[in-house]
Structure 1
Amino acid sequence: MTTSFKNNEFHDLMFGRKSVRVYDEKVKISHEEMLEMIQEATSAPSSVNLQPWRFVVIESEAEKAKLKPLIRFNTRQNETSSAMILIFGDLRCHDLAEQIYDEAVEAGKMPKEVRDQQIEAIVPYYESFSKQKMSDVVKIDASLAAMQLMLVARAHGYETNPIGGFEEELLAEAFGLDKERYVPVMIVSIGKEVEAGFPSTRMKAEEITSFK
C-alpha cells in the first residue's frame, strides 16, 4: 500500500485533531486519494475480521442537496466540505465470511483448516444474533474504522468532523441502500479547514476510571 501522508507525527495527529465545521469549498479530494484513505482506515480491528463497515462518499452538489434535510444541525459541513462520508454497518457482513477467509488463506495469513473452523463456528453464531445484537456489533466495529479514518485524514492533510445528528431511519434508503441490512453509524465530513475547530477540555482520567 502506498501512502500520501503529509504528516506522520502521531502526537500532532491525535492531540491536534479538532472537529472542523467550515472547509475550503475549492478543495476536492480525488477518488484515488479518498479510496487510499478508506483503505488505510480499514486496517482497524473488527470482530472475527468480518469488516462490517461500508462507506458512501457524498461529493456532488445534487447528492449533498439530497443529504441536507437529513442532517439537522450540520449544514455548513455539508455545504463546504470536499465530501460527506456516510458510514454504515452491514448486518449481513457474515455473508462475506468465506470470501474474507479465502483471501486470508491465499495470502498465507490463515491456514485452511483454521479457515474451515472459522466458517463452521462463526457464521451460525452470527446467524443466531438478534437484529439489535448484530447492530451493536457492527456499530462498534464501524466506529473503530471511523476514528481511524479521522486520524488518517489528518495524516493526508485534511480535517474532519464526526456527525451523529441525522435522520437514521431515512439515510440508507435515500442513497440506495437496503435499510433492513445497512445500519447508519456516523457521517464524517472531510476537507481543508477554513475555520479551525474549537479547543475543548476533557475530564481527568481519575474521574472516569476505577481500578479493581
Structure 2
Amino acid sequence: MNTIEAIYQRRAVKQFDPDFEISKEDELRLLEATIQAPTAYNIQHWRFLVLRDTEHRAYIRQHLGFNQSQMTDASLLILLTADTLAWQKSPERYWANTNTDTQQLMTGMINDFYSGREWLQRDEAQRSIGMAAQTLMLTAKEQGFDTCPLMGYDIEGVAEEVRLPEGFILGPMIAVGKAIKPAHPKAGQLPLDELVIENHF
C-alpha cells in the first residue's frame, strides 16, 4: 500500500475484533515508524502511553470514556501525551548525532524560542502530538490494521488515572486492531475552494 492509498483508506473504526492481537514485532514497527514524525527543533515532545492492563482499560471505558468499545476491544490502546517542558530537559540530546557546534547552536535557539512563552510550549507540544497521531494511523493502515482516534473522554479523570506528570498534556487515545464492522460512510469533505486560500484572507 502506498501513502496515498493509506490516507484514503484510513477510517475511524468503531468496532474492533476483541480476539485479535497485534504481535510484539508489529507493535515495535508501528512505534518505531511513529517516532519518525517531525517535531520543532527535534524536541520529540511526545510520550506514548500504551494502556495494556485489561482492568485499567475497562475502568477507563466505563468511568471515563463514555463506554466506547474501542477502548477495550482494540488490540492496542495508545494514549498520546506530550511534555511541554521537554525543550529544557537536556536539549543537547536532541542533536546527539551532530557536532558540538551544532548542538550548542540549536540548544541556544531552543532556549530563545521557548523561554517565557508557555502558550508556545503547549502549542508546539500539541502540534507534535497531531503529527505523531497521523503518522501512527497511516503506518497502522499500511501494516493492515485499523485505527480510531478518541478524544471523547474525561480529560481530567484520565490524567489522574494515568498519573500524568506535571507539565504534560493529553492528546487522543488511538485504538489499533482489526475491524469487525466497516467504518461509517464518509460524511463528506468541504470543497477545496472553500478550504484553500492564496496569499492572504
TM-score, length of structure 2 as denominator length:
0.90
Partners in 1 of 2:47 and 2:71 — Cα distance? Answer: 20
Matched residue, 1:141:
128
Contact 1:23 1:191 in 2 (8 A): yes
- Tell me how far 1:123 sits from its aligned partner: 2.7
Identify which of 32, 45, 50 aligns with 2:25: 32
Q: How is 1:2-81 mapped onto 2 (pairs within 5 angstroms)?
A: 8-68=1-61, 69-72=63-66, 75-81=68-74
1:26 deviates by 0.8
> What does residue 120 of structure 1 align with?
108
The alpha carbon displacement at 1:202 in A equals 0.4
Letter in 2 for 1:129: R
Corresponding residue to 1:198 among 181, 184, 194: 184
Letter matched to residue 79 of structure 2: L
Calculate percent identity across the aligned residue pairs: 23
Which residue of 2 is the match for residue 98 of structure 1? 92
Distance 1:171 1:32 in 2: 28
User: What's 2:81 paired with?
Assistant: 88
Report if the CA contact (8 A) 2:114-2:120 is conserved: no
Q: Deviations over 1:67-118 (max 9, x none)?
A: 212222x51111311121100011121214122212x22xxxxx32111111
Gaps of 5+ in 1: 1-7, 106-110
The CA deviation at 1:11 is: 2.9
- Tell me if the contact between 2:30 and 2:139 (Cα under 8 Å) persists in the aligned partners: yes
Distance 1:135 1:58 in 2: 24
1:4 alignment counterpart: none
AA partner of residue 93 (structure 2): Q
* Mean Cα deviation higher: 32-41 or 146-155: 32-41
Alignment of 1:174-185 (within 5 A): 174-178=161-165, 180-185=166-171
Relative distance call for 1:202 and 1:96 in structure 2 (3 A) is: farther
Partner SS for 2:171: strand
- Residue equivalent to 1:5: none
Q: Give the letter for the 2:74 counterpart.
A: S
Match of 1:188 in 2: 174
- Kindly provide the CA deviation profile for residues 27-58 of structure 1, in whole angstroms up to 9, marking residues without a partner as x: 11233322321110111111111010111111
**In structure 2, what residue type is equivalent to 1:195?**
K
Structure 2 vs 1, CA of residues 128 and 79 (structure 1 numbering), >3 Å: closer, same or farther?
Answer: same
What runs of 5+ residues in structure 2 fail to find an aligned partner? none
Q: Which one-letter code corresponds to 1:44 in the other structure?
A: A
Q: Give the Å deviation of 1:59.
A: 2.5
Give 1:124 shift: 4.7
Aligned pair count reads 196
Could you tell me whether the CA contact under 8 Å between 2:9 and 2:141 is conserved in 1? no
CA contact 2:51–2:76 (8 Å) conserved in 1 = yes
Partner Cα separation in structure 2 for residue 35 and residue 124 of structure 1:
35
**For the residues of structure 1 that align with 2:194 and 2:74, how far apart are their CA atoms?**
36
Report the TM-score when normalising by structure 1: 0.86
